[in-house]
Amino acid sequence: MTLRTLARPWIWGFAAAALVWVLILAISNQGGGQTVSLALSLAPYLVIVGLGQMLVITAGPGNIDVSVAPIISLAGFVAVQVTATTGSVPVGILAGIGTGLAVAVVSVVAILGLSVPPIIATLAAGLIASSLTLSLADGFTAVPDDGLRRLLNLRPAGVPVLAVAVAALTALVVALLRRTTYGRSLLAVGQSRPAAERAGVPVARVIAITYLASGALAGLAGALLAAYIAPSPDLGTRYLLDSVAVVVIGGTLISGGRAVPVGIWGSALFFILLDGLVNLVGWNTAAQNLLKGGLVLFVLFLAGGGTLRNPGATTRSRRRLRPAAATTAGTSTGENSNG
Amino acid sequence: MTNLVASALPSRAGWRRTGPAMVSAVAMVAMIAVCSSLQSEVLTVPGLALVLSTTVPLVIAAQAQMVLMAVGDIDLGIGNFVGLVTVITATKLVSSPGTGALLLLGLVAAYAVLGALIHLRRVPSLIATLGASFVWLGLGLFLLPTPGGSTPEWLASFGSWQPAGFPAPLLPILAVAALVWLLSARSSVGVRVRALGSNPVALQRAGLRPLAARVVAYAVAGGLGVLSGLVLASQTGGGDVSSASSYTLITVAAVILGGGSFAGGTAVPWGVAIGGITLGLVSVVLSLLDVPSNMQSAVQGVIVLAVLAGRVVVGKVLR
């Protein structure tokens, strides 16, 4: 990979984050280091979810995990409850991860066993998870572990411990994608599923691992987030849209086949700093959403063809995915235009 | 393999078009049967009207989603968009009907512009509509930070309209489905829109403009979204930008249940109506069954999976 192709995708997120940071600096006239430190302590949660979402999106057109939000909420409750019952933080976090895996298993069975489109499969799994969350939330009394909360708030020399850990996780994902058979297979499946199939890549296994990884990462984020803030049924709500947005602004191809883990950091910092900026200016949630949506659209339309360097790739490869359906559609259209 | 499929097309094409909706229809009839066995009054005209009324805005929003899925796009902003329409209805349309109507027309135009930008800048619709959903939410919160407001009289009287002979909610459901069907299956615009979904290159080579087709599809989706919001406001009697946020994904599920696909090129307005009613009836069945409302979304999820599983099974049997 040459520097040029590498530099292009992920530069946008970091550039936008830097721009917002300068704006905050100009408005608040305070030390910029503190702002960055605060952003670094909030961004990791989004990065964790984003990494999972990135793996899923990389698996090719049509792949998206919309169950991350309900998983985060459910894993938060489960992790806090298990930690309170067993008294062990690691067991609680593992329970959170396990929750994510369990929900992802439902999605995987539906995707591979029933050939349900991923967005519907993960939607259904997420709906089931959110029902469980609501049942758990009724009369929930356990409180998050104090030690874990202190650890998550720990910032030696202004650098949050969690940010370092998640940076290591990001490096791990980079290595996973570049060096392992799974990573290579995932990219191959994302670029062209039929080609990967014919090359002997175990596509079903790759897809299954990808969704399980996304579920596990969302579960981890939920377990940590519940300790950092507090478990609530709405804990994960904003993470669905945000996770997809940070992945795409980060330079990962929405049509699959190219993953840019580092870019997630840039766009996650951008989103977190943007929230900070809006709070600083004293705007309400209405303006916050308007600004966020406007900026996402602006960056998207500005980058435009750049993000989709091969125009039409989405539609073409999407059709390859379901040849039979496309044939039917093509025929019916043909009939009508002839008649 | 492809040749084999092609030679077996006549029967399979027919099955592919109507089969999924059939399976959903079975699910819908089963749910109405469950309702009527629990509460025999469901089968009377007022009973059906009551049961169906909650599904109307969802079904119309699902038609909007279907139009966009027909061009191969997907709209992740429809829920907030419908919410925004209820807010405008509950505020501006009451205080100054002219401005309100202009605002609603502006929203339709905004959808058309969004479609044009998506096409010209070649960006994925998934992300663009996601970004737009933040904008709709922001606008809605800006106009009406907390749920409230009132509905114009004519809309309220439509919401409480109770004709004697037939359940009132059926009228908007059937009228909208018929309209979308006429547009998509019986008009040249519809053919172009579906052609854009199934083969954009062929559309271009035929000398037709893909841009126009996409803009039309987005404008129609925007118009249906506005209609859905108006109906929702007529039922709730007020505006709330987050009242329809669940629509975003449920409408996608309704389209899939009705036989639509992500590949684009297919328009299934009748199937979508059935799929939307099926999903909308879940809350009614659950309240009749005395199931806690917590479980409502789980049952919706299970029904989606069950219907799709049923479709796989039926497909295998027929093959």
> Which residue from A269, A95, A96 is spatially nearest to A170, judged by alpha carbons?
A269
By the 8 A CB rule, do B130 and B77 touch? Answer: yes
Question: How many percent of chain A have pLDDT more than 90?
Answer: 43
In A, minimum Cα distance to B125 occurs at A254
pLDDT at A315 over 80: no
Within a domain: residue B286? yes
For residue A82, the one-letter residue type is V
Question: What's residue B16's pLDDT?
Answer: 63
B304, part of any domain: yes
With 80 as the cut, is the pLDDT of residue A319 above it? no
Looking at residue B319, what is its pLDDT? Answer: 61
Helix axes B9-38, B269-288, angle to 10 degrees: 30
Please indicate if any CB of chain B lies within 8 Å of the CB of A301: yes
Tell me how far CA of residue A109 lies from CA of A53, A54, A306, B17, B295, in angstroms: 18, 20, 36, 25, 21
**pLDDT value of position A212:** 96
- Rounded average pLDDT over B169-189: 89
A143 touching chain B per CB within 8 A: no
Between A306 and B46, residue with greater pLDDT: B46
Residue B3 within a domain: no
Task: Kindly identify which residue of chain B lies nearest to residue A307, measuring between CA atoms.
Answer: B123
| Mean pLDDT confidence for B268-291 | 86
User: What residues in A contact B308, CB-CB < 8 Å?
Assistant: 110, 114, 116, 120
The ipTM is 0.81
Mean pLDDT computed over every residue of chain B: 85
For A263-267, B130-134, B290-294, which range has the lowest pLDDT when averaged over its residues?
B290-294
What's residue B12's pLDDT? 60
Bridge partners (DSSP) listed for residue B239: B148
With CA atoms as reference, the chain A residue closest to B241 would be A286
Q: What is the pLDDT of residue B22?
A: 82
**What's the whole-number average pLDDT of chain A?**
83
* Structural domain range at position A316: 3-332
pLDDT in tens, A242-263: 898 888 888 888 778 889 999 9
Determine, for residues A248 and B127 on separate chains, whether the beta-carbon distance falls below 8 Å: yes
Look up residue A35 and give its two tokens: 């702002």
Q: Identify the band that residue B19 occupies on the pLDDT scale cut at 50, 70 and 90.
A: confident
Higher pLDDT, A291 or A162: A162
Q: What HEC string does chain B produce?
A: CHHHHHHCHHHHHHHHHHHHHHHHHHHHHHHHHHHHHHCHHHHCHHHHHHHHHCHHHHHHHHHHHHHHHHCCCCCCCHHHHHHHHHHHHHCHHHHCHHHHHHHHHHHHHHHHHHHHHHHHCCCCHHHHHHHHHHHHHHHHHHHCCCCECCCCHHHHHHHCCCCCCCCCCHHHHHHHHHHHHHHHHCCHHHHHHHHHHHCHHHHHHCCCCHHHHHHHHHHHHHHHHHHHHHHHHHHHCCECCCCCCCHHHHHHHHHHHCCCCCCCCCCCHHHHHHHHHHHHHHHHHHHHCCCCHHHHHHHHHHHHHHHHHHHHHHHHHHC
**What's residue A15's pLDDT?**
85
> Does A321 lie at the interface with B, CB-CB under 8 angstroms?
yes
**CB–CB of A156/A91 below 8 Å?**
no
| pLDDT for res B286 | 82
Is residue A199 in some structural domain?
yes
A324 pLDDT exceeds 70? no
Task: Determine the structural domain holding residue B306 and report its residue range.
Answer: 14-318
> Does residue A169 lie in a domain region?
yes
What pLDDT is recorded for position A110? 92
Q: Does A66 touch chain B (CB under 8 A)?
A: yes
Chain A residues in contact with B142 by the CB 8 A cut-off are: 286-287, 290
The CATH number of residue A279's host domain is 1.10.3470
The answer to whether residue A339 sits within a structural domain is: no
Number of structural domains found in chain B: 1
Do the chains contact at B263 and A307, CB–CB below 8 Å?
no
What confidence tens digit (pLDDT) does each residue in B204-236 have?
Answer: 888 888 899 999 999 999 999 999 999 999 988
The confidence band for B13, taking pLDDT boundaries of 50, 70 and 90, is: low
Is A337 part of a structural domain of the chain?
no
Q: Amino acid identity of A207?
A: I
What distance lies between CA B191 and its chain's CA centroid?
A: 20
Question: Which of B121, B196, B303 best probes binding to A when mutated, by most A CB atoms within 10 angstroms?
Answer: B121
Partner residue facing B16 (CB), from A287, A311, A328: A328
Q: What is the structure's pLDDT at A293? A: 86
Q: Write out pLDDT tens, residues B74-115.
A: 898 999 999 999 999 999 888 888 899 999 999 999 999 999
Q: Is the pLDDT of residue A307 over 60?
A: no
Contact A244 B261 (CB under 8 A): no
Share of chain B above pLDDT 70, in %: 94
Of the pLDDT bands very low, low, confident and very high (cuts 50, 70, 90), residue B175 is: very high
Rounded mean pLDDT of A196-201?
Answer: 92
Query: Are A315 and B294 in contact (CB < 8 Å)?
Result: no
pLDDT of residue A4: 55
At B114-129, the pLDDT tens digits run: 999 999 888 888 888 9
Residues in A touching B201 (Cβ below 8 Å): 312
Q: What integer is the mean pLDDT of A32-48? A: 88
- Which residues in chain B touch residue A286, judged by CB atoms under 8 angstroms apart? 138-142, 145
User: What is the model's pLDDT at position A305?
Assistant: 52
* Cα(B103)–Cα(B119) distance, integer angstroms: 24
- pLDDT at position A328, please? 37
Total number of domains in chain A: 1
Taking CB atoms and an 8 Å limit, are A333 and B191 in contact across chains?
yes
- With cut-offs at 50, 70 and 90, classify the pLDDT of residue B36: confident
Residue A88 domain-assigned (yes or no): yes
Interface test with B, best of A58, A65, A289 (most B CBs within 10 A): A289
Query: From the candidates A57, A120, A267, which should be mutated to test the interface with B, based on the most B CB atoms within 10 A?
Result: A120
pLDDT value of residue B215 = 94
pLDDT (0 to 100) of residue B65 = 94
Output the domain CATH number for residue B241.
Answer: 1.10.3470
- Between A152-156, A212-216, B73-77, B133-137, the lowest mean confidence (pLDDT) is in A152-156
Q: What does the pLDDT read at residue A304?
A: 63
Q: What is the pLDDT of residue A257?
A: 87
How near does any CA of chain B get to the CA of A84, in Å? 24
pLDDT at B17: 65
Note whether A128 contacts B301, CB cutoff 8 Å: yes
Taking CA–CA distances from B246, the nearest residue in chain A reads: A127
What pLDDT score does A326 carry? 37
Contact B237, A104 (CB under 8 A): no
